[in-house]
Structure 1
Amino acid sequence: MSWQVPPQEPPPAGFYPGQQGPQPGFYPGQNNPGQGYPGQGYPGQGYPGYPPQGGGYPPQGGYPSQGGFPPQPGFPGAPGGAPFIQPRPEMYGGVHDAEDPLAGTGGFEFSDKSIRRGFIRKVYSILMLQLLVTFGFISIFVFNENTKLWARQNVWITYVALGVTVVTMLVIACCGEVRRKAPMNFILLGVFTLAESFLMGVISSFHQGEAVFMAVGITAVVCLALTLFAFQTKWDFTMMGGILLVAAVVFLVFGLVAMFFPGKTMTLVYASIGAVLFSVYLIYDTQMMIGGNHKYSISPEEYIFAALNIYMDIINIFMYILTIIGASSRD
């Protein structure tokens, strides 16, 4: 038994391109423009740009030398048409994304403000923990006589704490990669805070408890007022960095000279200048943290450095106010 392939019928005319061209009625609206697709239908010669009937596809001679279809009038970018407009993100609604500063109308401004607010909250959270630890150390040294006596009998630990404070502060201030890398930055800041709190406790132990807590209260009021002033004022203190540096150097030299002329008056003058100087530094560092319309600002990645600056400003203000109170109560 043999298998036979049934004879194949030839394809209808116009089935293959270029065979005999499209047959009448093959395209909608070819013979009757009122039929087929809505509107007037396609022209009687087929789709736009196709060769007339009988010519096949493609026409003899190939495609046009320009290549492809010419742009139709009215199409964006075509001669005589509408200008081509590159789409922008703001054209698709007001979606604000903190991760993508271009995602929406004013996206960059919204992103910058949201990141800066989170940065400020982080800085003040760290600062509050530092101040609580320091206040705890001060309270122990002021009210616990055994701790006060132990610190005075073991002076060496005070020098160790001073050395740890200086080293950790220099590492945080000078090594940018270290202070931006967690958890190393938190460890260094924690060690610095413990050492500085111990020093503040030792210094406070030489004063009366009433004088210490009076200094704490005055420092809290002054720092709160200066912080609110830094947030609200239109004066840009971030441009005073050079002036403050010169003032700090002069203040340091004045302190060295004051060591050779001890006395109540010299102590009051020196402490008063120090309190004023570091009050201005507090405004300066606060505006550096705020950013916004100020000329200079700290990067949101530098939250450890910002917390360290503001913490040292508050500690210095407290120390000089305590010195003023102590010198004033001295006979």
Structure 2
Amino acid sequence: MEKPKGDNMTKEKGVPKSKSENEFPPTYQEATAGYEEMQVQFSWDDKAVRRIFIRKVYAILMIQLLVTVAIVSLFTFSGPVRFYIQTHPGLYMASYMSFLATYIALTCCGDLRYVSLATLSMACMMGFMSSFYNTKSVLLCLGITAMVCLSVTIFSFHAKFDFTSCQGVLFALCVVMLLCAITLSIVVPFGYVPWLHAIYAVIGAVLFTLFLAFDTQLLLGNKRYTMSPEEYIFATLNLYLDIVYLFSFLLQCMGGGGE
């Protein structure tokens, strides 16, 4: 008997079936179908967080400014308080040292309680300074500061110009201001020079106006450099110091002597 041919009788067991020729990997459009929707969702979430961050910063800033205006008004309109401060000028340096200590503690721990202490120290320092100028000068500088801050804030919100990329200009102005301060410290013991002090005050007012625009655009987060929404205490303190120092330099530039 002849053995049957094994060509057609062999059983193929355990051999995996090959993939169909119609099965291909997904296309780029299919693989990234939900990516654009996720990106839009993340963008909306980031804008919502940024809006909450801005509202929180300006809410705290308004409280700081109200406290400062109240203390400045007390030191300006109250005759006995004004006389006491003018006869005890050392209180100005004490308030300034208190502010520096509070600011260092604030940068180390970032506690909101230190913001209130820093605000109170700086407000007292501005009150002590205002007591040496006449009432009309203080009121005029308060009004000018308010108008400048409002104008700079609106401009920073809508302008396409990026102030956050101008660190070199701000640094150069800081160096010029430092040189003027050193010159004043050397010249003042030999005699008061009004024009040199006026230049120093004008440079300071311009510098902190630019710093206000710089810090406002950092707050908005739509320029080259931005600030994290978690740093609302630092952002609030930056804006507050810009406004307070702007007021102090305007007072030095345009303020008259005490009554």
TM above 0.5, one fold? yes
Indicate yes or no: 2:184 matched with 1:258.
yes
For residues 22 and 100 of structure 2, the distance between their equivalents in structure 1, rounded to whole angstroms, comes to 73
Aligned residue type for 1:265: W
How far 1:90 moved relative to its partner?
5.4
| DSSP 3-state at the match of 2:23 | coil
Deviations 1:27-51 (A, max 9, x none): xxxxxxxxxxxxxxxxxxxxxxxxx
| Identity level (%) | 34
Question: Greater Rg, structure 1 or structure 2?
Answer: 1
Partner of 1:118: 52
How far 1:232 moved relative to its partner?
1.2
Partner of 1:244: 170
Partner of 1:80: 22
Q: 5 Å matches for 1:310-329? A: 310-327=239-256
| DSSP 3-state at the match of 2:255 | helix
Q: Taking CA–CA contacts closer than 8 Å with sequence separation of 6 or more, which of the two structures ends up with the larger relative contact order?
A: 2
Given the alignment, which residue of 4, 9, 15 partners 1:65?
15
Q: How many residues align?
A: 241
Unmatched tracts of structure 1, length 5 or more:
1-60, 74-78, 95-103, 180-184
For residues 24 and 195 of structure 2, the distance between their equivalents in structure 1, rounded to whole angstroms, comes to 82
Partner of 2:197: 267
Q: 5 Å matches for 1:221-232? A: 221-232=147-158
Deviations 1:114-158 (A, max 9, x none): 111111111111110110000000011111122223334444443
For residues 63 and 194 of structure 1, the distance between their equivalents in structure 2, rounded to whole angstroms, comes to 87
Deviations 1:299-319 (A, max 9, x none): 111111111111111111111
Partner of 2:130: 204
For residues 140 and 62 of structure 1, the distance between their equivalents in structure 2, rounded to whole angstroms, comes to 101
Unmatched tracts of structure 2, length 5 or more:
1-10
Given the alignment, which residue of 281, 297, 307 partners 2:236?
307
For residues 217 and 123 of structure 2, the distance between their equivalents in structure 1, rounded to whole angstroms, comes to 25
Aligned residue type for 2:54: I
For residues 240 and 276 of structure 1, the distance between their equivalents in structure 2, rounded to whole angstroms, comes to 14
For residues 320 and 149 of structure 1, the distance between their equivalents in structure 2, rounded to whole angstroms, comes to 23
For residues 219 and 234 of structure 2, the distance between their equivalents in structure 1, rounded to whole angstroms, comes to 10
Partner of 1:101: none
How far 1:267 moved relative to its partner?
2.1
Aligned residue type for 2:84: W
For residues 63 and 169 of structure 1, the distance between their equivalents in structure 2, rounded to whole angstroms, comes to 80
User: Which has the larger share of helix?
Assistant: 2
The two structures have a TM-score, normalised by structure 1, of 0.67
For residues 12 and 101 of structure 2, the distance between their equivalents in structure 1, rounded to whole angstroms, comes to 81
How far 1:190 moved relative to its partner?
0.6
How far 1:243 moved relative to its partner?
2.9
Partner of 2:227: 298
